[in-house]
């Protein structure tokens, strides 16, 4: 892969680097638009679609051979752009369903689920992906691909997977007319909880609260 790809007059649409960068850029733009809150009614299904598409790029990076950066040390990109405003916007927008329970590693035996937030997850995804995009836009294509692949394995892949599962669950509960139990104080500053505690606290998001914003009529 050549760094010249970025500056080509007519980039090859079949080039792996171009395709991954396009998918990452599409996610960054789309999720930033959702965060503006101009169309909150479609936020959850739209995020479901965008995270699903991002994980396709992640799967391709995961299946690809190890990408080795051109330089031994990563070039300094300067301070990372702040994502706190985006995080806060999503926390407000997704407030009834923001907190969910996650199993950090499904292959760790007897690992208790822990609380997580969709808003935190989205902010983390944006941070990781922007970092690689900064390299790509600077013409360091191999460095960008290395970063996206490395951070897919170390962070954003599992984060996106957990977020997708939470969003899919919300949509499924609405479509199947299966109200969730009350959240009752479940939050991310609590210690890990056992199955019985999660069953009690994992939350009431009534169909009435999320069916309207999703534009879905529950089955009667």
Provide the token pair at 79.
């301070």
- pLDDT tier at 104, thresholds 50, 70, 90: confident
DSSP secondary-structure letter at 176? Answer: T
Higher pLDDT, 13 or 193: 13
Give the tens place of pLDDT for each residue, 165-196.
Answer: 999 999 998 888 777 665 544 555 544 444 44
State the sign of the Cα–Cα–Cα–Cα dihedral 44, 121, 86, 146: negative
Per-residue confidence (pLDDT) for residue 168, from 0 to 100? 95
pLDDT at 157 over 50: yes
Per-residue confidence (pLDDT) for residue 173, from 0 to 100? 84
Provide the token pair at 94.
């997704």
Residue (of 164, 162, 142, 133) closest to 51 by Cα position: 164
Whole-prediction pTM: 0.76
What integer is the mean pLDDT of 106-131? 90
Count of CB atoms within 10 A of residue 178's CB?
12
Higher pLDDT, 175 or 91: 91
Mean of all residue pLDDT scores within the chain: 80
Q: What is the spatial distance between Cα 64 and Cα 16, in angstroms, rounded to a whole number?
A: 10
């Amino acid at each position: 892969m050549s760094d010249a790809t970025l500056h080509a007059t007519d980039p090859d649409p079949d080039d792996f680097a171009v395709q991954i960068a396009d998918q990452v850029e599409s996610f960054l733009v789309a999720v930033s638009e959702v965060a503006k809150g101009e169309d909150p009614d479609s936020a959850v299904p739209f995020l479901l679609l965008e995270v699903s598409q991002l994980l396709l790029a992640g799967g391709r990076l995961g299946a690809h051979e190890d990408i080795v950066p051109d330089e031994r040390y990563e070039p300094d990109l300067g301070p990372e752009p702040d994502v706190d405003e985006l995080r806060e916007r999503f926390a407000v927008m997704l407030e009834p369903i923001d907190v969910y329970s996650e199993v950090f590693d499904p292959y760790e035996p007897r690992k208790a689920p822990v609380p997580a937030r969709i808003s935190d997850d989205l902010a983390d995804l944006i941070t990781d992906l922007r970092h690689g995009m900064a390299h790509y836009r600077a013409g360091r294509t191999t460095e960008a691909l290395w970063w996206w692949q490395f951070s897919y394995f170390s962070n954003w892949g599992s984060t996106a997977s957990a977020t997708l599962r939470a969003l899919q669950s919300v949509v499924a509960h609405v479509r199947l007319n299966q109200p969730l139990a009350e959240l009752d104080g479940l939050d991310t500053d609590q210690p890990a909880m056992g199955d019985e505690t999660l069953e009690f606290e994992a939350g009431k998001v009534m169909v009435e609260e999320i069916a309207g914003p999703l534009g879905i009529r529950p089955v009667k």
